[in-house]
Amino acid sequence: MNWVDFVSILPFYLEFAIRSDGAEVLGTLRLLKVLRVFKMARHFQGSKVIARTLRSSARALWVFFCMLVVFVALVAYLCLLYTSPSPRDRG
C-alpha cells in the first residue's frame, strides 16, 4: 500500500473512530480519492498519449482559456446591465 491508497482510505477510518458531525475535514480528505484515478491512469497507453498532447499544446490551450474567461466575464457583465433596474424604475 502506498501513500495514495493510505490517504484515500484514511477518512473512512477517521470518521469511524471520531463519529462527529463536524467532519468537513473528512469530506475534504474524501476528495483525495480522485488521486487513485490518476495513479491508475499511468498504466494505460491512451492516458499517456493524452498527457503528452496536453503538454505539447499547453500554450494554445492557455490562450483559449484566457479568451474564454474574458468572454464569460463580458457576458456576465452584460447580463448584469440588462437585468439591473434603471434609475427611472427605482424611484
88: its cell numbers = 427611472
Report residue 70's pLDDT band, with 50, 70 and 90 as the boundaries.
Answer: very high
Name the residue ranges covered by the structural domains of the chain. Answer: 1-43
What burial letters (b/e) apply to 2-19, b meaning 16+ CB within 10 Å? eeeeeebeebeeeeeeee
Express each pLDDT in 17-68 by its tens digit. Answer: 666 555 566 666 666 677 777 777 778 888 889 889 999 999 999 999 999 9
Instruction: Give this prediction's pTM.
Output: 0.47
Q: Interior CA angle at 12 toward 32 and 33, to 5°?
A: 20
